[in-house]
Structure 1
């Protein structure tokens, strides 16, 4: 913001309390207010009272709408409110960036190559976001790039923005030092190409300490600047720490012909990122909103965890691979063995129950009734409605369990022998209670397994008794305390720089607002690199790796160039720091 014109008195805005004046420009004044709800400091940009023309009001409202569309980007100032006061003052309440803008900073000291590249990529991502929304800024310059409380650039002042193919208003302003040649000609200009030139000119300004076509000590009037912008080649930066690749990138962005410039801000940022890679610097992310792909919803997405399978019915009369059960053979039928594997258990009737078995179920369906002459087989359940047996009622649910009257008077030896199916079916349920004990004899194989089972049970019981005795006498085994550790050999400590010699002969040569520092490696080895950082009396900068034995360091706020360098070995070991200031 320019300070040539004194700002007008701040307006009375309901819900805001005036604090101080932040600056003034050609079309508006900016004030610092304290917002009541929510409580925070905000920057309020107010349109000048004596410039309330239709064009000025149109630009102001356009700026509010455009910035509202873009203010979610991390490198664009956020807009909170746009309103008109009762006195007719239009204002924008926006994010307050408390740090000095880039315009203030570059006038104090030139930017390092690392910071200038990072700022260029971040602002380029904001410009690319605006272009994708069909908006051209048309006034990119250091004064319109604020710095947030988190030390990030924030593009602002879309006051003369518009669609990328629209001509500027007749009463719209422009910043000559950062404007391309086509801005001074009649007719419409390509907003994308204008913004790319202005962004390149802004980076040049941060590195040079002045706008691209300003010559220190010469005539820098508007007429001379326009003439140089139209006809003079872009001057070299003349800094030893600026690589030739960066000079070429800036020259491409500021080509006299719009068609020779980068086609987009993204292409410009991509080449800046390549320069960062060549200099072994951290690559700054390029942040733009990606296109959202709307995918069709999967109908089974919310039913995956509770999917219900269809019910599978199993027919017991089919021929699956049925297990073979050990048989219990009556003495009167010694030749009967186990049921064949192909014959599964059948559930039709109850032994000893006469009459119909209507009401029994099989796999959820009613079993058809049988006549009195049908063969009977045991079932898992007994229908008591069929009536009691001759010897007494059968216990429900256990068809082969005898009633109390049958326990007292077992049937005679000569009674009716059960048929083969009934005997075999009873073995399916592992029950031998349905016949007298003297009539049922285990098969030899079953008897052998019985004795094996008894022996195994005895051994297991003995083992349990012995374990109880040992536990009682000796106590439970002592568990290691997780918080008590035994003696151990500590790992060898990694001593950074313990075996690496310090750099020597650190010498500075004054050069254009800073100094070029050189040093000597006392014991060179393959793969050696150097770490350097600009330091001051109150803070140390971030170390950056380089391969050359020299570096340019700009002067700090005390007009001194101070540096700290270390030797970095291939294995990662570093030497002690070597620090010095010049002058």
Structure 2
């Protein structure tokens, strides 16, 4: 049951907005200036001094971040006449993301835009030396402009104060709930959106822990459920923790979600911190690239003027280069080719068969020759294609070596050709010819089906192409640096690049590192940066955009 709203000078109580374990939130009307405000009041019953200290710390944290457009603004803090501390905050009249999920299906464009904006808020907190540590849909409100507003910094901690103490695995086992708390020095965590490092007895979260929760929140917006929740199965706290620790993300069952976005979210929720994006800005840029891929205008990243190296926990696994790479993949044979018969008779060679030395190519129908039905050898489990690679798949139908018409009789071709023409042999020959004709018709029908109905693309984890054939992977070639020249006065720099197999419609996205400007798109293969600080190196990230696909990035620097 909610507590009684305190009497506050200059504020008129309207109604209760919500209740939590340590505080209640009320809607008041401020008299001067006249506006609606949300007042968060700390409960006094059962609240110790550490809870009071955290409440004060939350006020100080939010005050440091209040200028950000996607963080709830705090106007005032004080102690009411009944000795209860309170915060006067911006009133966000819209629903929280958790409430929106109950009412509607959130589109991909909306989820991307929200993800970039929340990344801006999280990056700003990290630049101020603050971890949020409880990012989830319920803690993202919607303000009067329809923008997301991150709130509830009640368990936030300063980076210099790490490591922090939180709920341990043993404590969760004794009190399994999605949101759990422990002793006086411990703070709560929301398990469905928490990274695995928070479940240890001595957790040491860093900025990448917030990135995990951020990616999990965006995934929740698209899936309508938490990332590790499996419909129709037990989804208790311990079940979720086990899946989080094993990285068992439930696939997104939405055909409108591109594979590139699925890859970005999976990397953001990687089990090992070294495999995640190393900063919130890196994560935001990856979401921007998906926006560009979908033909959307990139959402701006709103962070203070800071070096993007700030709050970076350490060098990334890829050496610090830009994220979301599409690896170069060669043609992969889905199964080994059938062994070629030794010394096939010349008469069995089809007129339209491909030369023996011809190289395998994608989307090519080879000559088909008669074969007798034989059990097909199944290959073992195939490697799963990395989710980060957004590629086109082409099924290649390959001909199998012809089997000798006399193979089923136990005789060689030579014996069959020279045998006496008795009625039984003629009957067997007609039967064999009829069976071969049936097989030819079946193979031709399979060719037509493959040509008319191309293989369906699958974006979920574990998706595999159909049996047989090969997979041809199309990868857009990345730019290659030609030159990076700094002007003599150091105030400008010109970068020039080229691409392999350049095409007329090629475009390029480029972005200057160390700035918050969104990616720019150009058809030129050169760009000049101006108003630079002499003596300070400048770098840009360039990627090729071809037929709606984006290559891996080139990082070019001018000293």
User: What TM-score comes out, normalization by structure 1 length?
Assistant: 0.48
C-alpha spacing 1:232/1:266, structure 2 compared with 1 (3 Å): closer
What secondary structure does 1:17 align onto? strand
Residue aligning to 1:163:
158
Deviations 1:391-431 (Å, cap 9, x if unpaired)?
xxxxxxxxxxxxxxxxxxxxxxxxxxxxxxxxxxxxxxxxx
**Equivalences for 1:289-308 in 2 at 5 Å?**
289-291=304-306
Indicate which of 75, 78, 86 corresponds to 1:83: 78
Aligned-partner SS, 1:267: helix
Are 1:250 and 2:247 an aligned pair? no
C-alpha separation in 2, matches of 1:246 and 1:237 = 10
Shift of 1:188: 3.4
Mapped contact 1:77–1:94 kept (Cα < 8 A): yes
1:136 aligns with 2:131: yes
Contact 2:230 2:250 in 1 (8 A): no
Matches within 5 A, 1:30-429: 30-164=25-159, 165-168=162-165, 170-291=185-306
What is the Cα deviation at residue 99 of structure 1? 0.7
Q: Which runs of 4+ in 1 moved over 4 A?
A: none
Q: CA–CA distance in 1 between the matches of 2:90 and 2:19? A: 17
2:479 aligned residue: none
What residue in structure 1 maps to residue 343 of structure 2?
none
Q: Do the aligned partners of 1:55 and 1:171 also contact (CA within 8 Å) in 2?
A: no
Q: Which moved more, 1:135-144 or 1:218-227?
A: 218-227
Distance 2:145 2:135 in 1: 21
How much has 1:142 moved relative to structure 2?
0.5
Which range moved further: 49-58 or 123-132? 49-58
Measured against aligned partners, the alpha-carbon deviations of 1:266-320 in whole angstroms (never above 9, x if no partner) come to 000000000000010111000111149xxxxxxxxxxxxxxxxxxxxxxxxxxxx
Q: Deviations over 1:64-116 (max 9, x none)?
A: 00000001001101000010112111110000000111110012222111000
1:232 Cα deviation from its structure 2 partner: 4.4
Aligned mates of 1:68, 1:232 — CA distance in 2: 36
Q: In structure 1, how many angstroms separate the alpha carbons of the residues matched to 2:247 and 2:152?
A: 29
Who is 2:317 aligned against?
A: none
In structure 1, what is the Cα distance between the partners aligned to 2:232 and 2:136?
22
User: Within 1, Cα distance between the matches of 2:128 and 2:74?
Assistant: 17
Q: Distance in 2 between matches of 1:129 and 1:51?
A: 34
Q: Cα RMSD over matched residues?
A: 1.5
Alignment partner of 2:77: what SS? strand
C-alpha separation in 2, matches of 1:60 and 1:168: 17
Question: In the alignment, is the contact (CA less than 8 A) between 2:229 and 2:250 conserved in 1?
Answer: no
Q: 1:124, 1:268 within 8 Å by CA — same for their partners in 2?
A: yes
CA drift at 1:14: 2.0
Q: Which protein, 1 or 2, shows the higher relative CO under an 8 Å CA cutoff with sep ≥ 6? A: 2
Instruction: Indicate the residue corresponding to 1:302 in structure 2.
Output: none
Helix, strand or coil at the partner of 1:197: helix
Structure 1: stretches of 5+ with no match in the other structure: 1-5, 293-526, 528-583
2: distance between equivalents of 1:12 and 1:206?
Answer: 38
**Deviation digits for residues 18-60 of structure 1 (CA, Å, limit 9, x no counterpart):** 1111111111111101112211110001111114311101110
Mapped contact 1:137–1:191 kept (Cα < 8 A): no
- Distance in 2 of aligned mates of 1:240 and 1:152: 26
The alpha-carbon deviation at position 130 of structure 1 amounts to 0.5
Question: Cα offset for 1:12?
Answer: 1.7
Secondary structure of the corresponding residue to residue 94 of structure 1: strand
Partner Cα separation in structure 2 for residue 79 and residue 60 of structure 1: 13
Tell me if the contact between 2:247 and 2:270 (Cα under 8 Å) persists in the aligned partners: no
Q: 1:147 Cα deviation (Å)?
A: 0.4
264 and 65 in structure 1: CA distance in 2 versus 1, 3 angstrom threshold: same
Q: 5 Å matches for 1:560-571?
A: none
Cα-to-partner distance string for 1:332-360 (whole Å, 9 max, x where unaligned)? xxxxxxxxxxxxxxxxxxxxxxxxxxxxx
Q: Secondary structure, in 3 states, of the residue corresponding to 2:189?
A: coil
Equivalent residues of 1:46, 1:89 under 8 A apart: yes
Q: Which has the larger radius of gyration?
A: 1
Distance in 2 separating the partners of 1:25 and 1:191: 26
Report SS of the residue matched to 2:186: coil
How big is the shift at 1:11? 1.6
Unaligned 5+ residue runs, structure 2? 167-184, 308-504, 506-559
Structure 1 residues 8, 217: closer, same or farther in 2, change over 3 A?
Answer: farther
Is the 1:160–1:168 contact (alpha carbons within 8 Å) kept by the matching residues of 2?
no
CA–CA distance in structure 1, aligned partners of residues 248 and 234 of structure 2: 17
Out of 15, 20, 44, which is 1:25 matched to?
A: 20
Could you tell me whether the CA contact under 8 Å between 1:137 and 1:161 is conserved in 2? yes
- TM-score by structure 2 length? 0.50
Query: Structure 1: how far apart are the matches of 2:99 and 2:261?
Result: 23
Contact preservation (8 Å) 1:178, 1:201:
yes
